[in-house]
Amino acid sequence: MRLSASLARVALAGTVFGLGACGTSVVASADRSSESPAPATSGAPATQHAAAHEQQEAAEVAGLATSPEQKAALGGEPMPMFDQQPAGDRSLVPVANAKFRERFAETGPVSTDGLTQISFAQEGEDFDPTVTPDGKFVVFASTQHRATSDIFIKPVNGSVITQLTNDPSDDAMPSVSPDGRRVAFASNRGGPWNIYVMPVGGGKPVQITATSAHDLHPSWSPDGNKLVFCRLGEVSRRWELWVVEASNPSAGSFLGYGMLPQWCPKPGTGLAGGDRILFQLPRERGARTFGIWAMDYKDGSTSNPTAIITSNTSALINPAWSPDGRFIAFAEVPAPMGKVEINQTRPSQSDLWMMAADGSAKVRLTDGNAVALMPHWGPNDRMVFFSDRGGRGNIWTIDTRSAVLACGSFTPTQATASAAPSHAPQTVSPATPAPVADASHASEAEAVAEEPKH
């Protein structure tokens, strides 16, 4: 098991540092190496904590199974896990028994319009998809040509694939700039994972961050001047959110704790004209499942941290904005027992959902028959995502127009950005889902959908 591969596929299932060849606990680690409630501060306890963490991390990266007693001895807290199934034995259809299918919102309507496979890796996998602003090309990471991942680009409706990076290390998590000219991505070509930027047509990558910490998952600001990303803090041992100037690399600015950030493509949708940034954050008690949060960013400062949607029985991960900033897509991974097996390469099943940006409605986008992760919203209500529904991990696309109409048919509520106090997070309870809008109500629903949410 390689640490580099573990981090290269960190987005597959919500993610814990140093676990599994493809990522992938959907909740914070039992040893709290990725999202601890509070790091040790000073003195002998800090030294003992660091030593215990390094010992356990080394065992996990080496692929060594540890018993609950061993975990406790290393400073961890044993937690229930899902049973691991060999990859060859895992059914693409999840268990139908209700007691194994506890979900956070099973009653939601399903929209699977225009579900189409657009990449066809026969070996390895294609993952981390993102769409160019004009909607014509998909940029993604792939291991179909060798064990380590590179960045590729192809027409959404074509078959010609162009390789953008060619490095023996891993390149992953691409993000296309708002002007469509640059691609930011994460790479461990220099040792630790750092952020790089290169022309979308190919060329020499420019290193943006250069720390000994691991920097992952860049996302562009609406004006294309900044990048937000997540960093595994060397002191906190938690996933942290940072922002850096794209054209003037520096140490960057710390924003708070969280991971897999997504900058809202539409500027000024937050308080006082600030931008909104989505991210996922785990609970610090109980099952520690991930929920979807957002915060406002303006003039280098953050405010209004808001829990948009959380669940006790599912990890809600991989948040993504719609281009107009009115809707949010995310993946739901059932986790009724609190934690995925430590060496599991990905969840056995997950679905994509979408909701209004204020959390007022939910619509399920995939049908529960496979793994669906890593949504990215392109123009014209088309969404690309990773799925293994064809038997191997590839990139698929889906038309979200019916789902957008369904979300628009709900009575809008006040956005949490304007309702929540700036000094405290607020959890929003989504409204009860309504059926997908039919043709007779399409014009009315479309009119409601066009109303601004912010």
How confident is the model at residue 337, as a pLDDT?
A: 54
Residues 86 and 164 in one domain: no
Would the CA dihedral through 395, 400, 406, 410 be positive or negative? positive
Q: What is the pLDDT of residue 336?
A: 59
Q: For each of the chain's 454 residues, which pLDDT tens digit applies? A: 333 344 434 444 343 332 222 333 333 333 333 333 333 333 333 334 444 444 444 333 333 333 333 333 222 222 222 223 333 333 322 333 333 333 444 334 445 668 899 999 989 999 999 999 999 999 999 999 999 999 999 999 888 999 999 999 999 999 999 999 999 999 999 999 999 999 999 999 999 999 899 999 999 999 999 999 999 999 999 999 999 999 887 778 999 999 999 999 999 999 889 999 999 999 888 778 899 999 999 999 999 999 999 998 899 999 999 999 999 999 999 875 545 443 445 788 899 999 999 988 899 999 888 999 999 999 999 999 999 988 899 999 999 998 888 887 654 443 333 333 333 333 333 333 333 333 333 333 333 333 333 3
Query: What are the CA-CA distances from residue 53 to residues 236, 237, 258, 286, 399 (Å)?
Result: 12, 9, 20, 21, 45
Same domain, residue pair 29 and 172? no
* Cα angle 129-308-29, degrees, rounded to a multiple of 5: 70
Phi, psi of 51 (to 5 degrees): -65, -45
In a domain, residue 148? The reply is yes
Domain with residue 160: its CATH number is 2.120.10.30
Given phi > 0 = left and psi -120 to 50 = alpha, else beta, which region is 247? alpha
Q: Name residue, tokens 């390689």.
A: 2
- Let me know whether 180 and 269 are in one domain: yes
Residue 317 lies in a domain: yes
Residue 272 belongs to what domain range? 100-449
Kindly state whether residues 339 and 192 are assigned to the same domain.
yes
Q: Is residue 454 a part of any domain in this protein?
A: no
* 104 part of a folded domain: yes
Q: Within the chain, what is the greatest distance between any pair of CA atoms?
A: 69
Measured CA to CA, the distance from residue 18 to residue 330 in angstroms comes to 23
Query: Do 385 and 289 belong to one domain?
Result: yes
Residue 60 belongs to a domain: yes
Q: Do 331 and 422 reside in the same domain of the chain?
A: yes
Residue 293 lies in a domain: yes
Contact assessment for residue 415 and residue 424, using Cβ atoms and an 8 Å cutoff:
no
Domain termination site, one of 76, 94, 112: 94
Indicate whether 138 and 276 sit together in one domain.
yes
Instruction: Identify whether residues 88 and 211 lie together within a single domain.
Output: no
User: CA 338, CA 42: separation in Å to the nearest integer?
Assistant: 31
Residue type, 361: A
- Examine residue 408 and state whether it is found in any structural domain, yes or no: yes
pLDDT at 138: 97
With 0.85 as the threshold, say if the pTM is over it: no
> How buried is 431 (Cβ within 10 angstroms: 0-12 exposed, 13-18 middle, 19+ buried)?
middle
| Same domain, residue pair 65 and 177 | no
Count of domains observed in the chain: 2
Among residues 94, 119, 151, which one ends one of the domains? 94
- Residues 39 and 156 reside in one and the same domain: no
CA dihedral 308, 314, 320, 322 (to 10 degrees): -70
Final residue in a domain of this structure, among 42, 60, 94: 94
Q: Which of 329, 353, 346 is nearest to 125 (CA)?
A: 346
Tell me if 428 is assigned to some domain: yes
**Are residue 250 and residue 218 in the same domain, yes or no?**
yes
**What is the per-residue DSSP string for 128-185?**
EEEE-TTSSEEEEEE-SSSSS-EEEEEETT----EE----SS-EEEEEE-TTSSEEEE
Rounded-to-integer distance, Cα 149 and Cα 126, Å: 9
Same domain for 80 and 175, yes or no, is: no
